[in-house]
Chains A and B, each alone.
Chain A
Amino acid sequence: MSANLHPIYLVEEAVKLVAPFLADAQGHLLIPNNVLYAWAIMAGLFIVGWFASKKISMVPSGAQNFFEFLIGSLEDFVVTNMGENGRKVFPVLCTLFIFILCCNLCGMLPGGDSPTANVNTNAAMAVFVFLYYNFWGFKLHGIKYIKHFMGPFWWLAPLMFPIEVISHFARPLSLTLRLFGNIMGEDIVLALLFILAPVVSTLPMCFLFLLADCIQAFVFFMLTLVYLQGAFSEAH
């Protein structure tokens, strides 16, 4: 490739200016980019949330209105699909959705990098989801949660158990790879199109990828909801 593309990440440059002791000999930060951007997005969400909840009024306006709309519609969706049990797990689900949405969109901003373009961020979230729904399964059903893995008949259990365990372990793997492949693929396609035809081809693709970001965040949220629903349900 004749083009020499070196992306400039604004948060990374800012941290290098403010805290030069964090950079090693070649000038690269010791904190990886995805961790840095995840922390920056978390700080941003804390600040926005704090501003939105400072003055709560009966007739909402501005940031409070936007967040009421978002969280209200998500809660309706969760309760419609999961029943009243959904209210117990709704904060985790909503946090996952908003965090992943902001992570994905951060990659679209100039000078920004999406932490979800790195496999490690996604793997961390997927492992958390796996542990979380199994935690709820054991908490609600006790040791009888194992019956979820046994299949419909008791004599099928030795056959069904390995299959069910493998399929349950495939869930965090697929969550990770789906999110990683989508966001990394967007970055690569944008970089390649930029080499071919700088602005004309990348701008329309940006709109498609904005839509794909939102859909991927929603799919992660939806799959976590489905797994929690499976953990909440009664085994046969």
Chain B
Amino acid sequence: MRKGIMVVLSTIAMVAVSGVAFAADADPSVISMTSLATALGMALAAAGCGIGQGLGLKAACEGTARNPEASGKITVTMLVGLAMIESLAIYALVINLILLFANPFLG
């Protein structure tokens, strides 16, 4: 599993470095690297966010199962926690929106 991740990441690194061999800072290179970066960044952010929110949800379900009377407070706490974790993925989304629609390296 770790070996698989290493293989995938080193492939991406080699592809990324090979982009420099093409015309220096021509527009196509910037566009392609930006697309790769935005897609990969958002995917990683979504994965981390999913894991984090899943753990929070798990704890909330267990708490409600142990003590159904406190389910109101637990639900409110859980929703606030989910929104905070989601905001980390939103930061990645904002960077991606900037790169896609207001890219400072493209004219």
Contacts and interface: CB of A to CB of B under 8 A. Distances in A.
B80 A181 contact: no
Contacts of A184: 97
B80 A182 contact: no
Interface residues of B, number: 12
A177 interface: yes
Interface string B37-67: 0000000000000000000000000000000
A188 B42 CA distance: 15
Contacts of B82: 215
Among B79, B87, B91, chain A packs the most CB atoms within 10 A around the CB of: B87
B57 to A, nearest CB: 14
Q: How large is the interface on A (under 10, 10 to 19, 20 to 34, 35 or more residues)?
A: 10 to 19
B102 to A, nearest CB: 11
Contacts of B94: 177, 180-181
Contacts of B79: 215, 218
A224 B100 CA distance: 32
Interface string A152-185: 0000000000000000000000100110111011
Chain A binding surface, main DSSP class: helix
A63 B97 CA distance: 41
Contacts of B86: 182
B90 A219 contact: no
Interface of A: 174, 177-178, 180-182, 184-185, 188, 215-216, 218-219, 222
Interface of B: 79-80, 82-84, 86-87, 90-91, 93-94, 97
24 contacts: A174-B91, A177-B87, A177-B90, A177-B94, A178-B90, A181-B87, A181-B90, A181-B91, A181-B93, A181-B94, A182-B86, A184-B97, A185-B90, A185-B93, A188-B97, A215-B79, A215-B82, A215-B83, A216-B83, A218-B80, A219-B80, A219-B83, A219-B84, A222-B80
